[in-house]
Amino acid sequence: MLAHKITSLAATALLLSACGGSGGASGVPNPPPAPPRPVVEKTFDFAQGSGGWLAGYADYSPSTAPNDVVSEIRALPVPFGGFGYYNAGTNRSDDLFIYVKTKIGGLAAGTNYRVGATVEFLTDVPAGCSGVGGAPGESVWVVVATSSSEPQTQFNGLEYRMNIERGNQSQSGRDGVVVGNIANTVQDCGPRRWETKSLSTPIPSPLIIRADDRGEAWFLVGIDSGFESFSRVYYQRFIGRFEPV
């Protein structure tokens, strides 16, 4: 009886070995799961120059086109030292969007990423002021946007608009999120002074982007003005975080 049991166990082991046991169909063990894709973090410090960032503006008609938009590296105003990316222009259309953009590399091709960002800039606009169309501080919103294809200004037959759904003024869109405005800590429309302000996307960020087949995507920051006059900021630093999802 004991010999019969031993023979049966040996036959079972031989059968499992022939079928591959706990491995694959050929008997080779299943490969371990692929390691998680890494988080990609990028920091852009404009004290070192423009770093290849491109500038543009949108949300105007041929009759309300601004004639004084400036996007360039400039020395920071006193009491700050160093350089920043100066963006400025006059809103003549009640809705002017001035932006800078760059292509992000080093992502995994075809992978979806949740994009978080921090925008650090100088502003001299106090809170609590009134203005035509809106406040010079609270009605000039800072927008962060992402896109698989290049964000561009296009003419739709009536107006010049963005080719992405980045939202409008205080409203976020599919491709963009409003992170705040340019009003600084001076209250009750007090005297102007330059201050650093930092704004970040919500946690978790609503921005999801799919890297293209080269592992690249576009990243954009801009100011969207409902204040019908002149606005300006000095961008100091952008920090982007791309987390696979």
Q: With 0-12 CB in 10 A as exposed, 13-18 as middle and 19+ as buried, what is 60? A: buried
Q: What is the pTM of this model?
A: 0.85
Q: Across the chain, which distance is largest between two alpha carbons, in Å? A: 102
The segment(s) of the chain belonging to CATH 2.60.120.260 are 38-244
Instruction: Express each pLDDT in 33-62 by its tens digit.
Output: 767 789 999 999 999 999 999 999 999 999
Residue of 28, 38, 218, 43 whose CA lies nearest to 117: 43
Tokens 């035509």: give the residue.
132
Residue of 92, 75, 96 whose CA lies nearest to 143: 96
One-letter identity of residue 193 = R
Residue 224 pLDDT > 60, yes or no?
yes
Residue 23 pLDDT > 60, yes or no?
no
Instruction: Express each pLDDT in 143-188 by its tens digit.
Output: 999 999 999 999 999 999 999 999 999 999 999 999 999 999 999 9
Q: Does the domain at residues 38-244 carry the CATH identifier 2.60.120.260?
A: yes
